[in-house]
Structure 1
Amino acid sequence: MHHPYQGGRHELGQNFLVDRSVIATIEGLVALTTGPIVEIGPGDGALTLPLSGSGRPITAVEVDPRRASRLARRAARNVTVVNADILRYRFPRHPHVIVGNVPFHLTTAILRRILPACHWREAVLLVQWEVARRRAGVGGASMLTAAWWPWYEFGLRRRVPARAFRPMPSVDGGLLTMERRGVPLVGERGEYQEFVRQVFTGRGRGIAEILGRVTHGDRASVRDWLGRENVSPHLLPKDLAADQWASLWNTVGGRDPHTRAARVHRRPGRS
């Protein structure tokens, strides 16, 4: 009889990492960090077991109860296995590092859970390739990336071929790193993120036209920003870099009473 857990349960989106070189790359990236580790979706411990060799405390959060209990029996003393859904898990209230081979279909949901959390410092995540590219702003950033860029640096480390997983997914993975900035590029998060949402969803054939509407006709400030940042008026919001978003907010967003008014009834930090 086929065991339902053999090779990963499809409904849990489990694609287990089997490529030693990828595991070694993740180990190397994690070794550049310090402090306790929270691992997302450890599965059978492909990352947990090698990472535990560092002696650092590891909390491995696994949704599958059978895999969680099996890993708990195999893992070293510095590993605590928690049988929980990462989307409901309460992250520690002390500095820590997040590591994980993230279920591809849950990548964005998990990122939306992680990004507002306060106490982690670095994250090393294996996610779907296209998501990793967009989060790192390669070939165009997403609204989620732009909304969080002032607080985090995103990095794309390497492409991970589908054959590195069992069962093999239909798309490649990508190694994404996220590091909290020591000093954020902007101050108020809720207002800035609402501004990013307005720019990304605004109508227009380019950034100048979109900003003309978002700033309610403050063309002088828009022209000033375009010239100072050497930005083409025909660029799209996805084409802007982290420092350009920060300078745009500081030039036109932060002073606009309409932007502030639009934030009423919105929870701070939503993007």
Structure 2
Amino acid sequence: MSSSSRRTVGGRPELGQNFLVDRRVVARIAALVPPGPVLELGAGDGALTRQLAVRSDAVTAVELDPARVAGLRRTLGGRVRVVHADMLRVRADVPNVVSNVPFGITTPVLRHLLRQRAWATAVLLLQWEVARKRAAVGGTTLLTASWWPWYEFDLGGRVPASAFRPRPSVDGGILVIRRRPEPLVLPAERAAYQRMVREAFTGDRLLPVLGRVLPAPKRWLSARGLAVDVRARDLDALGWVDLYGEVASRV
């Protein structure tokens, strides 16, 4: 796994650089990647790269550490295109993305990917609690709600800390992000939708925010079976889309 160009590479745990050593986990992650060309971000020592290389589809592996780039080219250069680059600067121009994401740059990587439009599926290994939050298990987050109309976020399973070297203090989690075939909100309305979501997350409860944009916020909540003390984190994807449609219709 690699890190951003502003960080030193080399598996330093304080940077969240933990390499996969469990072949069963590697196989499980690779099995979640659909058929088609693959871009691997942060190939590291190539555990996942080697598993992907047995596929008939083209594989591009991105790695920042020049020593690891040289090693990957020696061992896999005939089957994999190895690119020496920062994962936060690479365009994902193929259908599938996979990454054992450095824990320290999880949010920048997610934002970098979500803003791009070419890929269809991303399989990402994150910290367990982060993967749960992004998949909206037990409540959603601002980042997930902001992108729900265009992506589905699913939890692909838990990965024990023992599957990594050096061993982190927490387990990992597999997050699978799929681009919706048909967006729930038009791309041209993304900025307006995301402004509404950011506003909704500014308070502890949703009702005060609704009161600023809807004439009868309690009626809106009641019609959707929501309590008056509902929080922004409690809305699902369709709830956010419904709310945006209501707000947009009154602009």
Q: Same fold (TM over 0.5)?
A: yes
Secondary structure class of the residue paired with 1:47: helix
Residue number in structure 1 paired with 2:234: 239
Residue number in structure 2 paired with 1:28: 31
* Displacement over 3 Å in runs of 4+: 9-13
Secondary structure class of the residue paired with 2:238: helix
> TM-score, length-normalised on structure 1?
0.84
8 Å CA contact 1:56–1:78 kept in 2: the answer is no
For 1:224 and 1:182, locate their aligned partners in 2 and report how far apart those are by CA, in whole Å: 32
Secondary structure class of the residue paired with 2:182: coil
> TM-score, length-normalised on structure 2?
0.91
Aligned pairs (5 A) from 1:85-96: 85-92=86-93, 95-96=94-95
Residue number in structure 2 paired with 1:149: 148
For 2:103 and 2:53, locate their aligned partners in 1 and report how far apart those are by CA, in whole Å: 24
For 1:55 and 1:124, locate their aligned partners in 2 and report how far apart those are by CA, in whole Å: 19
Aligned pairs (5 A) from 1:56-67: 56-67=57-68
8 Å CA contact 2:101–2:124 kept in 1: the answer is yes
Root-mean-square deviation (Å): 1.8
Residue identity opposite 1:246 in structure 2? V
8 Å CA contact 2:9–2:64 kept in 1: the answer is no
Change (3 A) 1:60 1:45: same
Secondary structure class of the residue paired with 2:88: coil
Residue number in structure 2 paired with 1:47: 48
Secondary structure class of the residue paired with 2:140: coil
Aligned pairs (5 A) from 1:156-175: 156-175=155-174
Aligned pairs (5 A) from 1:224-263: 224-252=219-247, 254-257=248-251
Residue number in structure 2 paired with 1:262: none
Change (3 A) 1:143 1:6: closer
For 1:169 and 1:7, locate their aligned partners in 2 and report how far apart those are by CA, in whole Å: 15
For 1:76 and 1:66, locate their aligned partners in 2 and report how far apart those are by CA, in whole Å: 14
Give the gaps of 5 or more residues in structure 2. 1-7
Instruction: Give 2:215's match in structure 1, choosing from 214, 219, 235.
Output: 219
For 1:65 and 1:219, locate their aligned partners in 2 and report how far apart those are by CA, in whole Å: 59
8 Å CA contact 1:55–1:78 kept in 2: the answer is no
Count, aligned residues: 242
The Cα shift of 1:219 comes to: 3.0
The Cα shift of 1:9 comes to: 3.7
Deviations 1:7-46 (A, max 9, x none): 724465321001122112112111xx12210001111110
Residue number in structure 2 paired with 1:110: 109
For 1:44 and 1:103, locate their aligned partners in 2 and report how far apart those are by CA, in whole Å: 14
Residue number in structure 2 paired with 1:261: none
Change (3 A) 1:243 1:152: same
Residue identity opposite 2:226 in structure 1? V
The Cα shift of 1:91 comes to: 2.6
For 1:144 and 1:50, locate their aligned partners in 2 and report how far apart those are by CA, in whole Å: 31
8 Å CA contact 1:40–1:62 kept in 2: the answer is yes
Residue number in structure 1 paired with 2:122: 123
